[in-house]
Amino acid sequence: MIEAVVFDLDGIIIDSEHVWDEVRQRLAEERGGAWHDRASRDMMGMSSPEWSRYMHDVIGLSESPEEINAEVVRRMHAAYEEGAPLIPGAADAVERLAARWPLGLASSSNRELIDLVLETSGLGRFFAATVSSEEVSRGKPAPDVFLEAALRLGVEPTRCAAVEDSENGIHSAKAAGMRVLAIPNPRYPPADEALEAADLVLPSIGELTPEAVGAG
C-alpha cells in the first residue's frame, strides 16, 4: 500500500532541464571548456558536487568545482527569479496527490533553487519533506536522495511511489525500492531499459492521478 509520493523537480514539475543545459554550456564556452554532445545526458541527475567536478575534470574549466557550482547556481537563480517554468498540469497534479498522501521532493537541484521554485510557484505548502542531492552522499542514479526523502517523511521506501522523468531518476527511485511512475522527458527520453524498469509509464503529468499511483 502506498503511503507517500515523492516527486522529482526538474522535468516533472518545472521544464528546466534545457535551462540547466544552456547555462552550463554557455559557461563552458565562455571559459574555454570542451563541451560535447553527451555532456547534458552525463550530468542529468548528478548532485551539484558531482556535476561541478565533471565540468572541471571532463569539460575542462579551470575554476574549482566550488566556483563553477556557485556561478551556475547564480545564473539559474537569475533565470528563475521571474518565475520558474512550470510544466502545464504539474501544479494540479501536485495538489491532486497532496489531497490523499503526504508528498516529498527528491531533486538534483541545489537547495536554494528548490526553495526558490517552491516559493515562487506557491507549491511549497504541499510538500512535507524536500531533499537536494547535495544533502546526501551520492546523486542519482544512486538511491540516496529518495531514501532520504522517505526517511524525512517517516515512511518506508517500499511504501512510497516516485514520479520521475529521466533515466538516472528512474534507476535511482527503483534502487530505493519505490514504486516508480515514469513520465518520459521528451527532450531527453530515457532508454528503453530504464522505462522497462518503471512500474508504470505515463504520457504526461496530466495522467498522474491517485488511481495511477495506487494501481497494481
pLDDT of residue 44: 83
Question: Tens digit of pLDDT per residue, the chain (216 long)?
Answer: 999 999 999 999 999 888 999 999 999 999 999 999 889 888 987 889 999 999 999 999 999 999 999 999 999 999 888 778 999 999 999 999 999 999 999 999 999 999 999 999 999 999 999 999 999 999 999 999 999 999 999 999 999 999 999 999 999 999 999 999 999 988 888 999 999 999 999 999 999 999 999 875
* Residue among 201, 146, 196 at smallest CA distance from 169: 146
pLDDT at res. 45 = 79
Q: Whole-angstrom Cα distance, residue 203 to residue 214?
A: 17
Q: What is the 3-state secondary structure (H, E, C) of 149-174?
A: HHHHHCCCHHHEEEEECCHHHHHHHH
Cell triple for residue 99?
Answer: 489531497
Task: Please tell me the predicted confidence (pLDDT) of residue 82.
Answer: 76
Domain 4-15+84-214: homologous superfamily in CATH: HAD superfamily/HAD-like (3.40.50.1000)
CA distance 56 to 168: 21
Question: Which of the following CATH numbers is that of domain 17-80: 1.10.10, 1.10.150, 3.30.70, 1.10.3470?
Answer: 1.10.150
- Give the chain's length: 216
- Spatial CA neighbour of 31 closest among 78, 75, 77: 75
Q: What is the pLDDT of residue 61?
A: 96
CA angle 138, 142, 148 (to 5 degrees): 70
Domain boundaries, the chain: 4-15+84-214, 17-80
pTM of this prediction? 0.90
Q: In which residue are the cell numbers 545564473 written?
A: 75
